[in-house]
Amino acid sequence: MAAVIEGIGGWLPPRIVTNGDLCTTLDTTHEWIETRTGISERRMVSNGLSTRDLAVEAGAKALKSAGTATVDAVVLATTSFDRLCPAVAPEVAHLLGLGTVPAFDLTSACSGFLYGLATSSGLIASGVADRVLFIGAEAFTTLVNPEDRSTAPIFGDGAGAVVLRRGDADEQGALGPFDLGSDGSRADLLAIPAGGSRQRSASAGLGHAEVPAGDWYLRMEGRPLFQQAVERMAESSRGVLDRKGWSVADIDWFVGHQANVRIVNAVADELEVERNRVAVNIDRVGNTLSASVPLLLNDIAHSGALRPGHRVLLSAFGAGLSWGSTVLTWPDIPVEGVQ
């Protein structure tokens, strides 16, 4: 028994922000951004759009791809919640007309899609659900300091979703094995200090005005993160390949989290995966955190580059620190563009 992908969908907000647009307010250039990140443009929410709205659009497309209007559970991975409370997933389930099914959020930043796939697979394996809608959705640009040239150019908003069903481990679309890991000793390498219980407790009675403005935005230490990302994703990828009994040569596509094109390429080099088997779309969407991997899968499947029967390695790394990988053989499912 296994969790099998039977549908996929993705959605991007309509507002396109180019490197040139950012250069009007940041002390940087298009060439500087593109050389260091591989990004030329990204999508950003506006006009009241939020994580919920992105999730609903991507979820609807995944349900259409799967040819179903019902699921037994909804799981949503995000780091950019609409509100601190309640979770986003129940509202998404309601707006999609899925009734009173169990629905909950999980957060593991850029590793959220891998953690969510494993969690959703667990719901199926335990008998809680026969079919799960799992969505990775982010409006993370709302949490990035627009005046910080080290982080503002990197992130984009979007959502990707899959429908998973109970199936056989040897059929196309079956997920697994999984490899997941974390290292909380390095949690401060990528963090938003303010907004949670720690900051509120420390500043009790002082009010939010006493919190340094920069603490409400993402802080990132790029160099150590780069090293950790390459090391952890490569190690995790080797682990799932070994457990599956596949070699690197068996892989048709390496689909890695789109954090930075140099990280993706460095991981591929560590694994000795040729560049023509490395999927990339960061140039058009930026780093969309938990939405990154499903949006990339949707892109290459819609383009025809990813075809039924192709063997795929998925891997991601993010804040926490956290990381994860899995493998699958791509199924024959209909795929629409992301808009």
Known catalytic residue at 276: no
Beta bridge partners of 139: none
Reduced to 3 states (helix: H, G, I; strand: E, B; else coil), residue 257 is coil
Question: What count of other Cβ atoms lies within 10 Å of the Cβ of residue 189?
Answer: 18
> Which residue in the list 19, 260, 281, 287 is annotated as catalytic?
287
Residues 146, 85 contacting (CB under 8 angstroms)? no
> Which residue in the list 257, 260, 281, 310 is annotated as catalytic?
257
Helix or strand holding residue 166 (H, E): strand 158-167
Q: How far is CA 48 from CA 13, 45, 134, in A?
A: 11, 7, 24
Known catalytic residue at 110: yes
Reduced to 3 states (helix: H, G, I; strand: E, B; else coil), residue 68 is coil
> Which residue in the list 19, 110, 260, 281 is annotated as catalytic?
110
Residue tagged 């982010």 (tokens): 138
CA distance 295 to 288: 9
Known catalytic residue at 85: no
Reduced to 3 states (helix: H, G, I; strand: E, B; else coil), residue 335 is coil
Active-site residues: which are they? Answer: 110, 257, 287
